[in-house]
Amino acid sequence: MSKKLIIILVIVLLILLIAVGFYLFVFQKGKPRAINLSQTGGGQGEEGQSISSPGPRQEVDQEAALKNQLRRQAKYFLESYLTYSNQINYLNLEELLPMMTAKFQSEVKEKINQGRAEQKLNQPYYGITTKAAAIELDKYQENNLAEFSASLQQTETKGGETKIFYRNAKIVIKKEVGEWKVDSLEIEK
């Protein structure tokens, strides 16, 4: 197979992965998750029985679960936002818009429009694939804000050559109209 065909297949696969991840994140997040009440200190939970109010352990477990969910959201967002190809026309950023606060959406829409205006046709393939190697919760304000710092590994492909480099990023997720959304992203140059 030619290099061009391999590159096209990789791009199509990447777009499909991003779309499936986005679908799972957006459409599955509102579904209830089962909680094993026997481990969290609640009542028996059998059919027809009332369940007692949550104990301290259940509240801690729910907060830990929320922090873990926010960490996964930050990881998904970072990897999708910072993965780029000159052949997908900023589709990765458009798909992430519903996950952003109104303020951040405005900034990203401007970036998309500017990038599309400057994009030249028939350019050789250029792409960056990003993996979040480590994500740490730096700050958490209950039901309001979560700040994470991340170590990133990026693989750049340009003109058939591949380079790997490392960067750090900070991402802020805020609760806006009852939903956790990305409010800002700072990437170390």
Q: Which tokens go with 115?
A: 């990038």
- Identify the DSSP state of 119: P
| Domain residue ranges in the chain | 3-29+55-187
pLDDT at 27: 61
**Largest separation between any pair of C-alpha atoms in the chain:** 66
| Model pLDDT, residue 7 | 84
Q: What are phi and psi of 115, to 5 degrees?
A: -65, -40
How much helix, strand and coil, in percent to the nearest 5, is found in the chain?
A: 45, 30, 25
Q: Are 140 and 180 in contact (CB under 8 A)?
A: no
The rounded distance, in Å, linking the Cα atoms of 2 and 91 is 25
Closest CA to 86 of 131, 116, 45, 41: 116
DSSP character string of 35-55 = --HHHHT-----TT---PPP-
Other CB atoms within 10 Å distance of the CB of residue 100: 23
Distance (Å, rounded) from C-alpha 160 to C-alpha 2?
12
Tokens of 65: 């679960």
Task: Please give the CATH topology (third level) of the domain spanning 3-29+55-187.
Answer: Nuclear Transport Factor 2; Chain: A, (3.10.450)
Q: How high is the pLDDT of residue 81? A: 96
- Residue 5's H or E segment, with its range, is helix 3-28
Q: What is the torsional sign of CA 181, 64, 186, 153?
A: negative
Ordered per-residue pLDDT tens for the chain, 189 residues: 677 778 887 787 778 678 777 666 666 554 444 334 334 444 444 444 444 455 566 666 888 999 999 999 999 999 999 999 988 889 999 999 999 999 999 999 999 999 888 887 788 889 999 999 999 999 999 889 999 999 999 999 998 899 999 999 999 999 999 999 999 999 987
Q: Are the C-beta atoms of 146 and 172 separated by less than 8 Å?
A: yes
Does the pTM surpass 0.75? The reply is no
Other beta carbons within 10 Å of 108: 19
